Each structure stands twice: as structure tokens, then as C-alpha cells.
Amino acid sequence: MEQARNRLMVVLFLFIGGFALLGLRTVDLGLIQRVAERERTDWSTAPVLPRRADIVDRNGVVLATNLDTPSLFAVPAEVRDPEQAAARLVSVLPDLSLADVLARLQSRKGFVWIKRQLTPAQVWKVNALGLPGLKFQQEERRIYPHGSLAAHILGFVDVDGNGIAGIEHFFDDRLLDPGRVGKPLRLSLDLRVQHALHDELEKAMVMHRAIGAAGVVLDVNTGEMLAGVSLPDFDPNHAARALPMARFNKLTNGVFELGSTFKIFTIAAGLEFGIVDLEDSYEAIHPIRISRFQIRDDHPKRRVLTVPEIFVYSSNIGAAKLARDIGADRQREFLGSLGLLRPASVELPEVGLPLFPDRWREINTMTIGYGHGIAVTPLQQAVAIAAIINGGVLNPATLILQSDNLQPLGRRVISRTTSDQMRALMRVAVTKGTGSFADVPGYRIGGKTGTAEKSGIGGYRRDKLISSFVGVFPIEAPKYLVFAVLDEPKGTAETHNFAGGGWVVAPAVGRVIARIAPLLGIAPESQSDENRFRRTALLVRRE
């Protein structure tokens, strides 16, 4: 009996230990591992969509945000008369199909979507039906308050909130990261600049009945994009309704033979490699015949042209001859160093692949010298030109705001001297040459026109042009670059039926600069800057 009692004590203590252990575990779960109220998981309802971070421009203006919108779902088991319910639902939500709604209401599932993201009016109508078994689930809908204004940059999301295009797709993980969801993604865009560029391009496109347009405003010292436009565009709030043509981003995804703005690279390479200096000249009296091609000038002077004249009057003959002197290898290496032979590096999924010849023969070298036989995206072109005029440093384009104290990781492509000479040439091209319509008093714009014939079946078509203009300001120490392209513009009476870059795009770029320079804190200068580029200007003889 004594032994039994002792053993009973052991059993007793085992039970005490067991209950104590479970008591501690209860306290552990209920007190130490307790989760706060707001973190509680709600198992009873359908999964709530993850919140996406907002996207804002460089000044904090909201470009993309979320709005709680109710979505309609049904619990089929609770729907009394599916046929009647379906008929009444379709009567207030006419875009639904009766058969589809009925099939959903008759399914054996516990949860079926009827329609996602309803307007308040639709919610009111559905509630007014008073049908049992229909319920609303709050969902987040992505809202782009500025509509189409920056559509191609921002991209859009699908109905479940996944990024499908543009920044929304490229930064999908970042925007959905729960740790950073409260911190908006800050872009380099300046919505005011974006609006000016969008507005002027749209007007120019209408005025010249162009089929499309693209444009970009770059900070030449950081590579930041302040604006990026592709037309026609679409409303990302209703991206599904947009035509594929409208969704296509011409700025970063479309590749074009951009024509004469390429002469910037040809002259820069000639100066950089020491093949020519500004006093040298080429004979441009006769068109060049090479194999079955003929290289002509659009504004023929029929005389010997100095290097500045080749640039300012945009002589194809002169540029082709200079390109031939540079040679295929050095030309390819130079264009490659400017990032023109590989897809542009920018934070968008839609980036076009440049097109250039596999075998870089002499004829290719010469046509590429004035921007034919090579197709690049307008954005790449703008970034490369920025490197030529900013002192010679290539900064890849970026859509993300760069902090002021962070030095951009640029790569030197030409010397400062060559860059200074190129800026002088671009200023003279505006004061004395093809880009004169871009000049805005006080803002010292430097620029270059581009007019390329689109290639079609059986060669180039003189009536289908890609007209462009690049403007840089203030030219003595450039801060910003505006590059704009019109696809198939037509001349008007005002332009004497000319549709070249100098006639149709340069005035638009001038107006963009006149609008954005004050916003960007560039003060106009009343004093003429004639003396600054006098030496270069004197090399350009006016007829």
C-alpha cells in the first residue's frame, strides 16, 4: 500500500506537470505570440487584393493611386431563384450576359464573381433589387487621375491589380512590397512638363495630320526623363478598351530611321577622331552615286561646304563624305559607345531593339552618316544627343527621381572640347540654319532638324516622312533637351506644303521650351548671345 501511495504521488506530479505545461503554452500563444487586431487574418471572405504603392511625379503629384471600389459576388446557395435573379441582374447591369450570370448563379461553388469594380450608381441599383445571396466585396481599383497624360510611362494593371505594362509592370514587385507600400514610387517626371509636351505634340499632330508622335524631355546632366509622350495614347483607367496601336509606346519601343539628327554624331565623331576641324570643307556640288543609290541634299547649295555649313544646312552629301572618311569600324564603335546599337536602358518593359546592318559596308557607313539605314528609338537618340552636348558624358535614361547629392554614373564618350564645338554648331543651326523656327527669344536654344523618308516597298517614299527636331537649352550650359518626332506629317499652307522637321516639328519644340523653361527655373536673357558663337557662325555663309 505504501508503494502504491508513492507511485500515486508520481502519477499526481505527472498530471500537475502536464496541466502546467499546457497552461504555459496557452499563455505563450495568447499573450506572447498574440497578434494585434489589425493584423488578424479574415478567413471568412475572399482574398483581399494587395495594396499597391502610389506612383508620384518628382514634385509629389499623384500619378497612380488606389480607390476602394465594391465588386459584386454571389453565394449561389443563398440565391433563391437563380433564373429570376439573373434576369434582374442583367436588367441593371446590361453589359453582363444572361447565360453567363445564370451559369454562375447555378454553380455549386460557395463564391462566384458577378462583376468587378462597380460604380456607386451600379451598387445602388443592385441593392435596390433586394436579391438575397448577392454581396459586395471591397476591392482596390487602380486610378490614374491624369488619364492618358502619361499613359505609356505609367502603364496599367489588370483587374487583379497586377502590373501589365510600363512602370506598373517594371516595378510590380516594388509596388506590391508590403514593407514599402506606404512609400510612393517617385518618378523623375514633372507633370507640368509632361502636360506641355503632350499638349504641343497633340496640336502639331492635328495640325499636320500626322499618324503619330513621340517626344521626350531629358535632364541632360542626369538622364532623368521629365516628360515622355507617345501619340496616339489611351486612358490607362480603361486600358482594356485601348487599341493595340494606341498602347504601343513609340518613344521607347518604336524604332525609326530618324535622319539628319544623326549628323550630330557624324560631325562629333569627325571632330573627336581629328579627321576634320571646323574650318575644313567638303565639296557638295554633285549628288553622290554609289551602287544603285543616289545621295542628294534636301536644301542643295551646289558648292563647297564648310563643316559648320554641312551641319547647319544639313547636307547629306557632306555628311556621307565625312562618314566615309571616318570609316565603318570607327563609326560603329562610336555609335555603340553612345548606346545606339543595343536596346535603351530605361525602367520600362517596352524597349525596342535597334535595327542596323549586319555587314557594315561603305554604302551603309555613308547613309548612316545622315541617319538612314539605321533605326533607333527616339529615346535612345535623345540620350545620345544629350551626351554630345552636356560636356561629353553619357547618362542612361531613367524614370526614377535621382537624389541631388548622388553623382550620376555617367561614362565619357567625347572630349569637352568636341562637346563645346557641337553646342556652337547646334546654336548656329537655330540662328542661321534649318532649325530657325525653334528659336525662342531669350532662351538660347540649340538644335538640329531631322527629316527622313520612310522606307516602303521598293525604296524610300518621299511623301511619307519621319520629321523630328532636337532642341537643347540654355545652349551655353545645357540643362534640358527636348526631342520630338512626328510620324507622317503633312505640310500646310503655312509651311508652304513642306513637312520636314524644320517646318513642322521645330516650332512645336520651340513652343514646348517657351512653356517649360520658366517652370524649370531657366531665366530668359535679354542680351544677344551672338558674340559667343561668332567664330562658328562666321563659317556659315548666308546666300
Kindly list the residues in this chain that would bind another protein in the complex (CB under 8 A): 1, 3-5, 7-9, 11-12, 15-16, 18-19, 21-23, 25-27, 29-31, 33-35, 40-44
Shortest distance, CB of residue 3 to another protein, whole angstroms? Answer: 6
Which residues 6+ apart lie within 8 Å of 352 measured at CB? Answer: 252, 253, 254, 255, 343, 344, 377
Query: Which of 39, 358 has the CB closer to another protein?
Result: 39
Q: Which amino acid is at 515?
A: R
Q: DSSP labels for 147-207?
A: GGGGHHHH-EE-TTS-EEEHHHHHTHHHHH-GGGTTSPEEBS--HHHHHHHHHHHHHHHHH
d(CA 330, CA 260): 19
Query: Which of 5, 241 has the CB closer to another protein?
Result: 5
Grid cell listed for 127: 441593392
Which residues 6+ apart lie within 8 Å of 32 measured at CB? Answer: none
Shortest distance, CB of residue 73 to another protein, whole angstroms? Answer: 17
Which residues 6+ apart lie within 8 Å of 28 measured at CB? Answer: none
Instruction: Give ∠ CA 527-531-533 in degrees, rounded to 5.
Output: 115
Tell me the C-alpha to C-alpha distance, in Å, between residue 442 and each of 140, 253, 475, 529.
48, 35, 11, 9
CB 227 within 8 A of CB 194: yes
Query: Which of 10, 128 has the CB closer to another protein?
Result: 10
Grid cell listed for 521: 527655373
Instruction: Return the closest-CA partner of residue 152 out of 201, 116, 118, 103.
Output: 201
Shortest distance, CB of residue 27 to another protein, whole angstroms? Answer: 6
Distance between first and last Cα of the chain: 132
Grid cell listed for 501: 522637321
Shortest distance, CB of residue 2 to another protein, whole angstroms? Answer: 10
Query: Which of 22, 285 has the CB closer to another protein?
Result: 22
d(CA 29, CA 24): 9
Is residue 315 annotated as part of the catalytic site, yes or no?
no
Instruction: Give ∠ CA 12-17-19 in degrees, rounded to 5.
Output: 95
Cell numbers 520630338 correspond to 484
Shortest distance, CB of residue 26 to another protein, whole angstroms? Answer: 5
Which residues 6+ apart lie within 8 Å of 464 measured at CB? Answer: 453, 454, 456, 488
Query: How many CA atoms does the CB half-sphere of 447 hold within 13 Å?
Result: 34
Catalytic residue chosen out of the listed positions 71, 188, 230, 260 = 260
Shortest distance, CB of residue 38 to another protein, whole angstroms? Answer: 11
Grid cell listed for 542: 548666308
Cis bond upstream, residue 232 (ω within 30):
yes
Query: Which of 1, 128 has the CB closer to another protein?
Result: 1
Shortest distance, CB of residue 25 to another protein, whole angstroms? Answer: 5
Hey, which residues are catalytic here? Answer: 260
